[in-house]
Structure 1
Amino acid sequence: MVKFIHAADLHLDSPFKSRSKMPNNILEILMTSTYKSVTRMVDFAIKENVDFLLIAGDVFDQANRSLKSEIFLKKEFNRLKEKGIFVYMIHGNHDPISTGFKTTWPDNVSVFKENVETYEMLSSKGERIYLHGFSYLLDESYENKLDEYPTNTDNRGIHIGMLHGTYAKTKFDAKRYTEFNLEALNNKLYHYWALGHIHVRSQLSDLPQIHYSGNIQGRHKNEAGEKGFLLVEGDDVSLSANFVPVQEVIFENLELDTDSLRKETLYQQIVEFKQSLREQSKYIINLQLNYDGEDEISQGDYIELLELLQEDEVNITQFVWIDNINVSYNNEEQIALLKDIKTSYSDNEELFRNAVNTMYMDPNINRYLPPIGEVSPGELLKMGEDRLKMLMRK
């Protein structure tokens, strides 16, 4: 039996661009979120007494790589060393080995070089493990070295491939480094492939097990949902991978149904919605309101509502920050028609007088109407709008 962690795309020191307008309490938590996620992962590795930890590239964020991040990671690796847990790490396009600091890691850490290498180790249960991989030398080069990975031909031990690259059929938006197809991986006859580069957790195959673990902490709305690593357990016959969340902040795209666009009502609904999330985690949310009605929210009310909801999160540790609100009108076509009618005809005095005269000339109608001099254009338009709305519902 073997037990190990598959992680990738830590992106320590990720800058969280465009977040400078957030309150300091939220910005500070964001800037340390990747560090806290790594610490949680190391805590879990120690608690579960795993055999080793795999990091499949982009450990650092090259443009923002700092001495602080390297010292931090060195301390975390030393914590693992004290418990006899090994680390195997490859570098990706964001942290190629040709740039940055030349860190000396603890001797429990093995870093793959630019050519494909194989490391051999024994698990705590005596299972022989073979780990194959390579690190990127340059950030912009197309380093497809799959042909250099050795094929498992002797059927002994557990073979694991580490690769930072792009699945040829991926639907996710990412630069295409070391593009591969499943046939190329399957041909190596490995038991597990630990993939990095795509920041969305996904399983490409169950025999053999081929996984992207996703990144360890989301950084924007396109990296939504829980983030973490995979805990892999089993033997040369069967391996299973289970997701373990360790993110500090969850980016999420959520929806809320509403039957009113009055700012006071909306504010109360969204406050209650935030409270239902607050106990679970810290959130940064893009909120879509699904509105079933004929009204519209004004730009002024929208800005006031959003600002008030954001002000509520200042100095709140367990924050639920509403980053943006989008209103989806279920009756969008009807609203557009009414708006067009108002824009086109509400200021047309001649059209108004013709309509009034037509009504008062009809003996079946005029007896129910007030004196013609008392008819208000606004009241008439309101009556017409109500009638249109009633007809649209049929």
Structure 2
Amino acid sequence: MKEISFIHSADLHLDSPMTGLKALPETIFKRLRQSTFKALANIVDKAIEHQVDFVILAGDIFDGEDRSLKAQSGFRKEMERLGEEGIPAYVIHGNHDHLGGNWPRIELPSNVHIFSDKLGVEHFSKKDGTSVNLYGFSYPERHVQERWINQYEKEDGADFHIGILHGHSEGDTEHGRYAPFTLPELVSKRFDYWALGHIHKRRVLSEDPPVIYPGNPQGRNRKESGPKGCYLVKMYEGGTECRFIETNDIVWQERHVDGSALDSAGTLYRLCRSEIEQVRESGKGTLLLLRIDHVDPTVKELTEAIDSGEMLEILQEDESEEESFVWIAGLTFSRDFRYDREALKAHSEFYGELFSVIDQYDRHEDSLAPLYSHSIARRHTEEQSEETRREVLEEAERMLVELFESD
């Protein structure tokens, strides 16, 4: 029976910075700086352990068009490890690491096959004669908005056909709308597997045929929380098995804890320490975002301990720099403050004007354009999804109303 196996990964973003962190101990800081490289090493470890036939990397291997020498050198090192095992890698470049950039190039080993800026087909054959056609292209520039899916056409002469595409599934609002496609369009190509990239959340769009976003192999900020990894795929003449494998060295995690019984800063401290030790049992380095819900706002020492940052500082000081560290990256609380928008508008003309301004921001997608066009700010700020923008606006509105109502 003819069969193949491969690893499908995407969105490595090698050497990209972790965002939303400060005042880290040196050892944790170094772990974070190396985490994307460690995730790639873990992918290669799994490829070798399972003796796969090849590895697919579906775009955004590097974080930017001006990819660093460190990132390129780290990538070459891991590709050489694959080459020593006789495992080829099939690579496309996406919107972040498109081919239009200008960077000092480091030559890659011969087992690495980079797709050009034209749709191409790579042919793979096993010793037993089993053959695979792999179809893909690399972005010629950052903003690729054409429907490249129209160019994918199945060629004869192979037992299996795999499409590799770094792009946007229409209907999704969380990522840039590059190389758009619909699921029916993918299925109509009659490929055996679609190896997708671009979306940093793991997502299976279809099981037959498998159409999969593996997500990125290492979370880099609070929005990229939870286990991250790649897919181990085994294809047979009668079907396909797909298994998620975790590869992250460090995990972003968010926890909500009931704080309704808290009556002092001491009980808050003990509750936080209990959560930290529970998280530590995972055995991984963890960046923990801890939110204490249902806090009684009349217990001032509770709210002040959190608002002042003092409790966060104490928890961070207590944390030892061990392999399975748990670093509190954020400590917040909620008072369960609620309000009736319509009632407030009826009660005060001021609220009517306030909500009108907020609604205008919600309707205009370019409301944050000055920030993203600023030469310095855009280096440190990624454009936010529609969902994230709404969350920010809703939280800003809630904070404003709470502030005015408490006066």
**TM-score band (shorter)?**
0.7 to 0.9
Aligned pair in 2 of structure 1 residues 101, 239: CA closer, same or farther (>3 Å)?
farther
Shift of 1:143: 4.2
1:107 is aligned, of 107, 110, 124, to 110
1:301 to 2:302 alignment: no
2:319 is aligned, of 310, 313, 321, to 313
2:149 alignment counterpart: 146
After TM superposition, the structure 1 = structure 2 runs for residues 28-47 of structure 1, keeping only pairs within 5 Å, are 28-47=30-49
1:188 alignment counterpart: 189
Shift of 1:124: 5.2
1:380 alignment counterpart: none
Contact 2:165 2:194 in 1 (8 A): yes
Distance 2:91 2:271 in 1: 47
Task: Report the AA paired with residue 150 of structure 1.
Answer: E
Task: Report the AA paired with residue 328 of structure 1.
Answer: S
1:136 is aligned, of 139, 155, 174, to 139
Aligned pair in 2 of structure 1 residues 168, 72: CA closer, same or farther (>3 Å)?
same
TM-score, L = length of structure 1: 0.79
User: 5+ unaligned residues in a row in structure 1: which ranges?
Assistant: 335-394
1:206 alignment counterpart: 207
CA deviations on 1:296-317 (whole Å, 9 max, x unpaired) are: 4445321221110112225344
1:223 to 2:224 alignment: yes
Distance 1:268 1:155 in 2: 65
1:55 is aligned, of 51, 54, 57, to 57
- Give the secondary structure class of the aligned counterpart of 2:334: strand
Aligned pair in 2 of structure 1 residues 64, 257: CA closer, same or farther (>3 Å)?
farther
1:239 to 2:240 alignment: yes
1:286 is aligned, of 264, 286, 289, to 289
Contact 1:2 1:124 in 2 (8 A): no
Shift of 1:128: 0.9
Quick check: 228-237 or 44-53, which moved more? 228-237
Distance 1:247 1:254 in 2: 19
> How high is the sequence identity, in percent, across the aligned residues?
35
Distance 2:159 2:300 in 1: 64
Distance 1:63 1:162 in 2: 20
Q: What is the root-mean-square deviation of aligned Cα atoms in Å?
A: 2.0
Distance 1:160 1:236 in 2: 14
- Give the secondary structure class of the aligned counterpart of 1:324: strand
Task: Report the AA paired with residue 264 of structure 1.
Answer: G
CA deviations on 1:317-336 (whole Å, 9 max, x unpaired) are: 42211122222345x569xx
Task: Report the AA paired with residue 203 of structure 1.
Answer: V
Aligned pair in 2 of structure 1 residues 124, 319: CA closer, same or farther (>3 Å)?
farther
Aligned pair in 2 of structure 1 residues 170, 124: CA closer, same or farther (>3 Å)?
farther
Tell which structure's C-alpha radius of gyration is larger: 1
Contact 1:146 1:184 in 2 (8 A): yes
Contact 1:261 1:295 in 2 (8 A): no
Task: Report the AA paired with residue 2 of structure 1.
Answer: I
Name segments (4+ residues, structure 1) moved above 6 Å: none
Aligned pair in 2 of structure 1 residues 79, 294: CA closer, same or farther (>3 Å)?
closer
Task: Report the AA paired with residue 320 of structure 1.
Answer: V
Task: Report the AA paired with residue 105 of structure 1.
Answer: L
Aligned pair in 2 of structure 1 residues 166, 130: CA closer, same or farther (>3 Å)?
same
TM-score, L = length of structure 2: 0.77
Contact 2:59 2:92 in 1 (8 A): yes
1:360 alignment counterpart: none
User: 5+ unaligned residues in a row in structure 2: which ranges?
Assistant: 340-407
CA deviations on 1:167-218 (whole Å, 9 max, x unpaired) are: 00224x1111011101211111100000000000000011111000100100
Shift of 1:140: 2.3
1:90 is aligned, of 92, 101, 111, to 92
2:165 alignment counterpart: 163
Task: Report the AA paired with residue 116 of structure 1.
Answer: L
Contact 1:10 1:215 in 2 (8 A): yes
Contact 1:19 1:27 in 2 (8 A): no
Q: How many residues align?
A: 331
Contact 1:51 1:124 in 2 (8 A): no
Shift of 1:24: 2.2
Aligned pair in 2 of structure 1 residues 121, 290: CA closer, same or farther (>3 Å)?
same
Task: Report the AA paired with residue 193 of structure 1.
Answer: W
1:266 alignment counterpart: 268
Shift of 1:292: 6.5
